[in-house]
Structures are given as C-alpha cells and as structure tokens.
Structure 1
Amino acid sequence: MENLAALMAASINSGTPLLIAALGLLINERAGVLNLGAEGMMLVAAIAGFATTYETHSMTLGFAAGAAAGMVMAALFAFFALVLATNQVATGLALSIAGGGLSAFAGQKYVGMSLPATAHGIPGLRDLPWIGKALFDHHWMVYLSLLICAALVWFLYRSRAGLILRAVGESPESAHALGYPVLRIRFFALLFSGALCGLAGAYLAMIYTPMWVEGLVAGRGWIALALTTFSTWRPARVLLGALLFGSVTILQFHFQAVGIAVPSQILSMLPYAATVLVLVLISRNPDWIRLNMPASLGKPFRP
C-alpha cells in the first residue's frame, strides 16, 4: 500500500505540468489559434523561474517570472500569427526552436545548480495513513491546477465569455460580423495560454526537478499539445489524460525500483510511445476529430 501511495503521488506530480500547459493550449486552440511553441515557452519560463528563485530565494517571484516569460513568448507569437498573419504551424515551430536556444544560452550559469527542498502538502491531511501521502502531500501548484481545470469547465460551458471564445474558434467571420473583436480575443487567449505554459515550465524547474539542465522540459510541451487533441478540447478530459501520461512517465522509475528487468532505453521512451499510440488511435476516426475540433483552428483571420 505504501508503494502504491508513492506511485500515485509521483504520477500526480509528474502529470501536473502536463495538465497546466495543456489547459493553456486548450484555450488558445478553442479560440482558433494553433501554437506549436509550447516546448519553447516552457523552456524559457523554466530558466526564468529557476534563475529568479535561485537569486531571490522566493518561489512566488519564481512562478511570477515563469508566467511572465511565457506571456512574453506568447505575445511574440501573437505578433507574427495575428498581426502579420503568418503561418501558425511554421511560427510555432520557430518559437519552439528559438525558446530552446534562448533557454540554453540564458541558463549556462545555472547548469547543475539546484534549489533547496521545501515542505509541501496540506498540514494535518498529509499525515493521514496512505491517502495523505497519495493525495495531500503535494505542492500548492498541484491543487491550483485542479482549480484552474474546474474554472475552465465553468468558463467554457457556463459563461457568456466562454461562449464568445468558442464562437471565435468556430467561425471568426460570424463573430466579427456580430461586433466581437476577434483578434483581441485571440490575443488574450494566447497570453493566458503563455502564462499557464510558463507556470508549467517553472514548476518543472523549481518543484519537479528542482534543478536546471539544458533541455529540462524534455518534450513535455509536445505531449501537452497531443493531450489537447487526446482530450478532444475538453478540460475535464485533459485532467484524466494528464494523470494517464503522468503515470506512464513515472512507471519507468517504478519498474526500476521494484527490480523489473527492462532496458532503461525502453522505459525512457514509454511516455513518447504512448503519445504516438494515442494519436494513431485517434486519427483512425477523422470524422470524430472534425466533430470536436474548433472549425477555424490554425486558420488566420483578417477583419
């Protein structure tokens, strides 16, 4: 039971950055914008959050710096994709590559450095037998991610603003004809997405690791992008998918701990193999994808 509790706790911890980033990407894709630069945004935010925390000894400032860095990267993408109407796929890929290079350059000073461990969890509840370690011994960002997920469910399906956002993603021409500022809505959706990707990157560098090495995000930005498709652009399904992918990621360490003789290379590729497998299974039914996907996803709009 103790091993199972540890596995559940590790899976939740591993799935949290995927959940936060995927929720942000879901919002800009619901608005009709495809941003493939999540990996770059998370990397820049990771070094920004780590460096700020290392220099100031304040995790609050570190998370704020990570969110701000993600928003700056998202604003850069918005300038090209919304103002200049460039190809969103190519722009996102360029942002991802640029973010990887920028984070490697800015993080040279901090390679191999680590942050001191801090106490986490909900006092009182984290000491409960079994369930305390599994569910209540986490950083506050884990619980914040759950609140964000619940808030986005309400926002998208119970609020007027959420309805407008979804309308912009389905038919920006119709939304514009009704007087809604399509580009402004998409811009703020991208900023929100950048802030969440920034928080996810900062969480990886400050809590999950906590240290800085080049390429720290290790493909999680791409997994978060796949997770939005896997969840058919629904926040509740993003939560389930993040826990699933988090469990697959942590299995490699669990197998090694219990002595299962599996080559480490195979264990390391499990999360990415699972991502490819899920996308292949989903792609077998293109009609189902078209039914759930925002109709104007990836298509530029000029008023």
Structure 2
Amino acid sequence: MTLTRAADTAVPLAVVTRRRFKVPITLAIATLLLAALFLFSPRDGVSTFKLGEPDAALSLADIGVPTAATCWIVLAVLALLTLWAFWDAWSFRPARLWLTIPFAVLGVFAFLVWAGAGGLVPVPSLLVGAVSLSVPLVFGALGGVIGERVGVVNVAIEGQLLLGAFSAAVLSSLTQNPFVGLLGAMVGGVLVSFVLAAFAIKYLVDQVIVGVVLNVLVTGLTGFLYGALLVPNEATLNDPARFGRVPIPFLSEIPVIGPVLFDQTFIVYLMFVTVVIVSWALYRTRWGLRLRAVGEHPQAADTVGIRVNPTRFWNVSLAGAIAGIGGAYFTLVSVPQFGKEMTAGLGFIALAAVIFGRWDPIRATLAALLFGFATNLQNLLTVLKTPIPSEFMLMLPYVVTILAVAGFAGQIRGPAASGKPYIKG
C-alpha cells in the first residue's frame, strides 16, 4: 500500500447516517387514534363550517361536508402521508416539514368534521379563541427564548406571568388606566427575573432550582395577598380597567383572518409587534449577536470584550418584562379581575413551547399558538357535545404538548452555555 500526503489526494470523509423513525411513529400513532375514533364512535350527517358572519361587509357562505365519507377519505390521505414518512426514514432522509404540516392540518380538519357532525363549527371564533388563549404563552415563550439564548434557563416563567397579572390588576384598579397596569405587569415580571438573575448569575445557584422555588414563592405570595388585600377591597384593588377591542377599518371585515388579526386588543397587537422585533433583533442586530455569543460560548465572548454576566443579567430582566406583559393579559383582557393561581401552569407550557420551537422566536410563537388552539378546541368540543368524556377533553392541551415535544422536537440541542454559570478567569 502506498501512503500519500493529504495534499496530494482527496480522501472523502465518512458520513455516518442512521434511520430516524420518531416522526413517522408519531404520525402513525395519530393516524391509528383517528381510525379508532372513527371506527368505534362513528358519526353521520353533515358537518357545517361557518366561515363568517352574515351581516359582515365581506362574508363567505357556510360549507357543509358529509361527515362519515369525509373522515374516511382524509384518514386514507393521512395513512399515505404516514407511509411516505416511513419511506423517507428508511431511505435515511430527515422528516420533511412540508409533509408534517399538511398532516397536522388534515388531521385537525378530519377531527373537526367528526366532532361537528350535525352541528356548526365556527372557524373564525375557533381561531380568535386560539389566538386569545395563546397570548400569555407567546409572551412567556419569547421571554424563555431570550433567557436561554443568553445562557439562563428561565423556569420562572410561571412566576413572572402570575406576578405580572397581580401587579396589572392592582395598579389598573387604583388608576383606572390599563396602560399603567401594563407597566406594572412588566415591573412585576422584572422583579421575578431580577431574583432569578441574582441567584443564578452572582451566587451561582442552580438555575432550575431557583426557578422552581420562585414559582412556589410567587404562587404563595400572590395567594396570600389575594386573600388579605384583594378580597376585602375588591372594588378598590381588584376591579381593573381593561383593554377593549380596536378593530382596524376594512381589514377587520376580511373573512376568517380579519377577526383573528385585525379586530384585537392592544396587547394582542403588541404581541405581533414584539414577535417581529425580537425575531429581527436576535439575528440582525449587534444586541442579538452579543446575546447569542454569551449563550453559546461565554469564554470567547469575554475575550472580545463582551461583559458576560452583566449581559446575562440585563437580558434576563428584559425577558421578565416581556413575560410580565403576558401576565397582564389575564387581568387586563381575559378575566375581569385577579384570581388565585389563575395562570394554571401556563408558564410551563410556555417553556415547552421554547423547546419545541428550538429556541427560535418564530417557531416558539407557532408552538404557543398550537397549544392555544388545542385549549380552545377543548372548549369547542364541549359546546358540540361530542361523545368524548370531559376528563379526556381537559387533558387535550397537555397531550398535544407531550406529543409535540416528544414526538416532533427530535434530538435538538439548546444554547451550549444555557444553564451553566460563568466564572471569569
């Protein structure tokens, strides 16, 4: 055998590949569950989809489809997409996004056709409700993305949402100004993130433990203040002025998407703007470059003059302010007053959206919208009186969360320095 120098011969690098069946198996499970539902609980009749209001300037007619035939035809298409996914995995190809998205859309459509047998499925109301329920999740997920991108695991999103909701209710009640309540919610979120940053960055305490403790602390504190202050002084401290809907002329009359995007409250419009700004700034500005550098390789960032721990501290505070806005949505839009433990674990769902979204603002927002849609779908199923037991419908948002993170997230890697304290030198 003749040995030659690398400069003289080009030696191809070995490519190690393996078949990944996680996504195809998840699609197969979903297909089988739908098949079992259609087989063991068949429904007949006509499913009608309402696409607009009859008195709107621009309106679409209702669409009716035969329930049983449509369900089985769509199920056959889902089975073909599942087989295609298995073929891709067997051929060492990664899961195709353009395959999984149509699968999800068709699967939801088939389920709605089955659920709406003999009834009416109001599509605009379903989408508006999904967006409304997603607002706290989106703000919480954006706060989680910023925190983890800079190197701090933000498990305290639940506490930031809850204290934000409490602060917004109290200040808006005292001033009868929802904008003051919104600023108070941001301050409440910053206070929680300030404690998280102080213990995690300065005192090097485990970030996950600090986040869990803060969630318990805020839950107990707001619960105590609710009973001691808000209940006996409800008219003064727990009757907040709320944001009303602000329809955009003409755009709000567009069928289906008009009510969803252009007939919303100030906080929802602020959510759209925040998602765009964070997504652009994270990848297109000096601030975003420094933030990502600190979260990926703090030693390298330190050598070029970036102050790692102050950068982490202030960005975690920014993340808390954004999450606090999500808390304000509970008391300034959704519910007329603050209630004990009213966030109901949505902070952890927002954290799951961060992971499912691969620490990207746009993807995390889409994941939050998915979870909001699942929650609103649960409410619609109750109205349509489907034969699914109520206990299973209450589980629906959390089942979707588990399937999304475990079945579709795959093997993903977060920021390299996330959760790791930085000690200079």
Q: In the aligned structure 2, how far is the partner of 1:169 from the partner of 1:115?
A: 39
Q: Percent identity?
A: 33
Q: In the aligned structure 1, how far is the partner of 2:137 from the partner of 2:376?
A: 13
Does residue 267 (structure 1) correspond to residue 393 (structure 2)? The answer is yes
CA contact (8 A) 1:48 1:62 kept: yes
Deviation for aligned residue 1:263: 2.5
Q: In the aligned structure 1, how far is the partner of 2:309 from the partner of 2:369?
A: 33
Find the partner of 1:205 among 308, 319, 331: 331
Deviation for aligned residue 1:261: 3.1
Cα distance change of structure 1 residues 23 and 117 upon mapping to structure 2, 3 Å threshold? closer
Q: 2:181 — aligned with what?
A: 62
- 1:22-73, Cα deviation, whole Å (9 max, x unpaired): 1111001000111211111211111111111122211001111000011011
Q: 2:362 — aligned with what?
A: 236
Instruction: Give 2:352's aligned amino acid.
Output: A
* Number of aligned positions between the proteins: 298
Q: In the aligned structure 1, how far is the partner of 2:241 from the partner of 2:292?
A: 43
TM norm structure 1: 0.93
Residue 107 of structure 1 aligns to a residue in which SS? Answer: helix
CA contact (8 A) 2:196 2:210 kept: yes
CA contact (8 A) 1:149 1:236 kept: yes
Q: In the aligned structure 2, how far is the partner of 1:294 from the partner of 1:81?
A: 17
Find the partner of 2:269 among 131, 143, 149: 143
Deviates more, 1:51-60 or 1:76-85: 51-60
CA contact (8 A) 1:47 1:106 kept: no
CA contact (8 A) 2:136 2:161 kept: no
Does residue 28 (structure 1) correspond to residue 147 (structure 2)? The answer is yes
Q: In the aligned structure 2, how far is the partner of 1:72 from the partner of 1:223?
A: 21
Q: In the aligned structure 1, how far is the partner of 2:222 from the partner of 2:281?
A: 33
Instruction: Give 1:98's aligned amino acid.
Output: L
- 1:198-224, Cα deviation, whole Å (9 max, x unpaired): 111111122122322111001110001
Q: 1:134 — aligned with what?
A: 260
Q: 1:222 — aligned with what?
A: 348
CA contact (8 A) 1:125 1:136 kept: no
Q: 1:92 — aligned with what?
A: 211
- 1:176-211, Cα deviation, whole Å (9 max, x unpaired): 122110001101111111101111111112212232
Find the partner of 1:246 among 372, 379, 385: 372
Q: 2:201 — aligned with what?
A: 82
Residue 29 of structure 1 aligns to a residue in which SS? Answer: helix
Structure having the higher Rg: 2
- 1:117-167, Cα deviation, whole Å (9 max, x unpaired): 653122424751634323222111111111111111211111122111101
Q: 1:103 — aligned with what?
A: 222
Instruction: Give 2:422's aligned amino acid.
Output: F
Deviates more, 1:110-119 or 1:174-183: 110-119
**Higher helix fraction (1 or 2):** 1
Q: 2:244 — aligned with what?
A: 119
Instruction: Give 1:121's aligned amino acid.
Output: V
User: Where does 1:154-193 land on structure 2 (aligned, <5 Å)?
Assistant: 154-193=280-319
Instruction: Give 2:230's aligned amino acid.
Output: Y
Instruction: Give 1:7's aligned amino acid.
Output: L
Unaligned 5+ segments in structure 1 are none
Find the partner of 1:19 among 113, 138, 150: 138
Q: In the aligned structure 2, how far is the partner of 1:207 from the partner of 1:152?
A: 23
Q: 1:301 — aligned with what?
A: 422
TM norm structure 2: 0.67
Q: In the aligned structure 2, how far is the partner of 1:222 from the partner of 1:229?
A: 11
- 1:53-101, Cα deviation, whole Å (9 max, x unpaired): 1222110011110000110111111111111011111111111111111
Cα distance change of structure 1 residues 129 and 169 upon mapping to structure 2, 3 Å threshold? closer
CA contact (8 A) 1:120 1:138 kept: yes
Cα distance change of structure 1 residues 59 and 118 upon mapping to structure 2, 3 Å threshold? closer
Deviation for aligned residue 1:115: 4.6
Cα distance change of structure 1 residues 117 and 126 upon mapping to structure 2, 3 Å threshold? farther
CA contact (8 A) 1:21 1:197 kept: yes
Q: 1:52 — aligned with what?
A: 171
With a CA cutoff of 8 Å and minimum separation of 6, indicate the structure with the bigger relative contact order: 1
Deviation for aligned residue 1:278: 1.9
CA contact (8 A) 2:353 2:365 kept: no
Q: In the aligned structure 1, how far is the partner of 2:405 from the partner of 2:253?
A: 39
Q: What RMSD, in angstroms, separates the aligned Cα atoms of the two structures?
A: 1.8
Unaligned 5+ segments in structure 2 are 1-50, 53-121
CA contact (8 A) 1:44 1:102 kept: no
Cα distance change of structure 1 residues 118 and 197 upon mapping to structure 2, 3 Å threshold? closer
Residue 138 of structure 1 aligns to a residue in which SS? Answer: strand
Q: In the aligned structure 2, how far is the partner of 1:212 from the partner of 1:269?
A: 25
Deviation for aligned residue 1:6: 0.9
